[in-house]
Amino acid sequence: MNLPKDMHWHLKVLTVFLLSLGLASGAAPSTCQVCLDRQTCMPPDCFCCRDEMQLPMTVNDIPQIVFFTFDDALTDQVAGFYDQLFDTSRKNPNGCPISMTMFISHNNTKYHQVNKFYKKGMEIAAHSVTHNHMNEANFYNEARLQKQNLASLGGIPERDIVGWRSPYLEPVGDLQPDKLKELGYVYDSTLTFSKRKLNNKVPTPFTLDFGWPYTCQVKPCPNREHTGFWEVPIVSLIDYKHKYDCVYVDGCMNAPPDENSAYKFLKDNFDSYYSKSRIPFGINMHPSWFYYPDRLKAMDRFILELANRKDVYILSIKQMIAWLKNPVALSDIHSFKPWSCSTASSGSSFARGTSSGFNQNTNGLPHQGIKKIVPSHVNTLKSWQQKFTESGRHQAIRKITIPQRVNKISQWRGTIQNGVLRLPTINRISWRQRQQNLRRNQIRTQPVTSPTISSVVNFNPVQNNVVRHTAITNPTQRPWTRPTWQQRTVTPRKVIDNSNSGWWSQPPQINPAPLHVPSQNIPLVTTTPVIQNPPTFEQQQLSLLEQQEQKHTRQQQQEQQQLQQNQMDLNRQLELQRLAENQRVQQEQERQRQLKLEVERKEQLALQESLRKEADRRKRLREERLLKNQRRRQQQASQTRKQNNQNTRTVNNVSSTRRAIEIWQRFVKFLTGKI
């Protein structure tokens, strides 16, 4: 059929539009059909991409799988949301608790919460360490270190960490599945698939044995085949107005304004899967959606609705892949081992609750958790207490109650040096200097007496109860004589029992070392008084304990201030994180809105251009038609003139013939008359 050139152009545009519409509606590309036709890619080692389940069972025998995935750090506030939504009382039809998959990033994550959810049967997957943009330079280390973090800090066996999702859903081409497979990952959930309409078909999870066959939304996508490595596409949802698609639940341009709208948004998207081929339905989101109470109530209501259905199972991605490898009908699902309760909660000793060797909180680089240092010197101090209490000596210490002892003992805090706890010691020189300073201040008030030697017990409880005797000589202005040792009896207090006399109550007779004797002719300029009543051992001990208690009180006040400051910093950090999350969501929404506006603008420009071309075509056709009509009228007028001329000539000829005949007849009559 001969068509104008403009019509050919319009047919080409219409063909391209219909092809793009078919791809956007979820029609399986030719690669998926080739994979299915060859019948060489069969479960459990291989699974072809498709937009229908195509299993040897009816649709009603297929369990509707719903898998929730949550991205980014797991904090205490976020854990509260998950505890409410995924309570252990909510169970699947086989009697096992519902599950989900959490893609955990390292920064700001509370790893004791990670271990708690792992014990509850949730799947823990990796989402990078720094949550930065992935590239070929940093991807391998991010995937490797975050898997180690979840294993060492979260108490999860590395064999149970099999899932990965890149930050910002940015793939790294064929490098990504190669490195993930090398590190022991089983599946990736980074690539996206856009669902334009609510009733469009969507793909199932599949293995990359034929590469990524769909349109690459975020480049670069893997093109080569990666045998046996699973890809779980992130299929977009349709907003509650059924107008735009959303990659994440919390990234819709038309956010639901209330609880009923949010519930309708979730329910409509679920029904588009449940009422058709029952392809696994994925709900991908960030926990920031739960900061709005009405949306949290809507999600709670939606999960409760799903849990009450007899043919709907809320599972993790790992459990979903296990079913795709070995599909089982609903009638036999109770005997399906990967979905049993024991499998969901089994794992290492951490899953059974036999170990708690993980850090409570980390905010830095990998393996930089805050370790709880056990004060081993407390045992030494307790043994010192027990020894002196049982021996019956120094009963003044025994009068102190146990809580007071612990408070006084707790002041001895050591420092860690090369893995060894270093305890502080009491400096004997500092004690002597304090005594000398005291004597210098009292020199004018004390009388001058002969020099005496007093025995001072320097007691250091940390250093194994060592008793040292120090000879203190007090020089005077009198001529110096050799000091002699004088035994001084210490008057005990009423609370002290001296029944057990021995080496402790009476120090040994120790002759001090000879001192330097100055010349007899040179008088001593510096004079110090003699302390008549030096402090007793009990007084020294009580004074030492008072000082230590004051020091301990100051340390407690400093620690309390530090804790308050840390709490304020934590609150400030959480607030900044919340603001950053809100800003990120707003930026994402703004970006989506700009993209939609740009698409609409381009569509409007294309429509205007097509309308303009159509108007030009119609104008040309109208002009051509007018021109043809004008030519036709001219031809008709010309033919009319010719016909008229011919008719006129004919009439003239007839008239001439008639006149000629009349003339001839007259002539004949004339001749006849004459004759």
pLDDT of residue 147: 96
Q: How confident is the model at residue 434 (pLDDT cuts 50, 70, 90)?
A: low
pLDDT score, position 405: 43
Closest CA to 98 of 72, 121, 119, 126: 121
* Selected residue with higher pLDDT from 187 and 657: 187
Three-state DSSP state, 100: coil
- Over 50: is that where the pLDDT of 417 sits? no
Rounded Cα–Cα distance for residues 30 and 27 (Å): 9
Look at residue 355 and tell me whether its pLDDT is greater than 50: no
**Confidence band for 43, pLDDT divided at 50, 70 and 90:** very high
User: Can you give the pLDDT at residue 432?
Assistant: 59
Tens of pLDDT, residue by residue over 145-180, are 999 999 999 999 999 999 999 999 999 999 999 999
The per-residue pLDDT of the chain, averaged, comes to 76
> Is the pLDDT score of 260 beyond 90?
yes
Closest CA to 171 of 248, 83, 232: 232
* Band of pLDDT at residue 526, cut at 50, 70 and 90: very low
Q: Interior CA angle at 112 toward 108 and 114, to 5°?
A: 75
Q: Residue 670 has what pLDDT?
A: 84
Average pLDDT over residues 57-78: 94
pLDDT confidence tier of residue 659, bands split at 50, 70 and 90:
confident
Name which residue leads in pLDDT, 30 or 488. Answer: 30
Name residue, tokens 């599909």: 327
Instruction: Decide if pLDDT at 36 tops 60.
Output: yes
Residue 127 pLDDT greater than 50, yes or no: yes
- The runs of H, that is alpha helices, within 256-327 are 259-274, 293-307, 317-325
Residue 504 above 60 pLDDT?
no
CA-CA distance, 644 to 631, in Å (whole number)? Answer: 20
pLDDT above 70 for 499: no
Share of the chain above pLDDT 70, in %: 67
Nearest to 411 by CA among 562, 548, 543: 548
The token pair that represents 53 in the structure block: 């389940």
pLDDT digits (tens, 9 = 90+) for 627-652: 989 888 888 888 888 888 888 888 88
Q: Which of 251-260, 413-422, 661-670 has the lowest mean pLDDT?
A: 413-422
DSSP label at 197? S
What is the model's pLDDT at position 512? 46
Question: Which of 97-111, 244-258, 410-424 comes out lowest in average pLDDT?
Answer: 410-424
Look at residue 343 in the predicted model and tell me its pLDDT: 55
pLDDT in the model for residue 441: 60
Q: What pLDDT is recorded for position 541?
A: 76
Q: Which of 226, 265, 103, 237 is nearest to 168 (CA)?
A: 103
pLDDT computed for residue 521 by the predictor: 47
pLDDT surpassing 60 at residue 561: yes
Measured distance CA(532)–CA(10) in Å, rounded: 119
Q: How far apart are CA 104 and CA 164, in angstroms?
A: 9
Helix (H) or strand (E) holding 662: helix 537-674
Q: Across residues 569-594, what is the average pLDDT?
A: 90
Q: Which residues of 109-143 are buried (b: 16+ CB within 10 A; e: fewer)?
A: bbbbbbbbbbbbbbbbbbbbbbbeebeeeebbebb
Q: Dmax of the chain from CA atoms?
A: 219
- Between the CA of residue 464 and those of 1, 503, 510, 539, 629, what are the distances in Å? 111, 17, 22, 20, 126
Tokens 């939304």 — which residue? 217
> Does the N-terminal peptide bond of residue 213 adopt cis geometry, omega within 30 degrees of 0?
no
Question: What pLDDT sits at residue 240?
Answer: 94
The pair of structure tokens assigned to 87 is 């309570």
Work out the number of other CB atoms within 10 angstroms of the CB of residue 222: 23
pLDDT at 288 over 80: yes
- Say whether 301 sits in a helix, a strand or coil: helix
Question: Confidence band (pLDDT; 50, 70, 90) for 536?
Answer: confident
Among 51, 92, 102, 70, smallest CA distance to 272 is for 51
Task: Output the pLDDT for position 533.
Answer: 65
Per-residue model confidence (pLDDT) at position 50: 93
Query: What pLDDT does residue 490 have?
Result: 47
Between CA 120 and CA 98 the distance in angstroms is 10
Say whether pLDDT at 34 is over 80. Answer: yes
The reported pLDDT for the residue numbered 466 is 37
Inter-residue contact 99 to 319 (CB < 8 Å): yes
Residue 453 or residue 164, greater confidence: 164
Name which of 17-31, 187-201, 331-345, 460-474 the model is least confident about.
460-474
Residue 528 has pLDDT above 90, yes or no: no
Q: How confident is the model at residue 20 (pLDDT cuts 50, 70, 90)?
A: very low
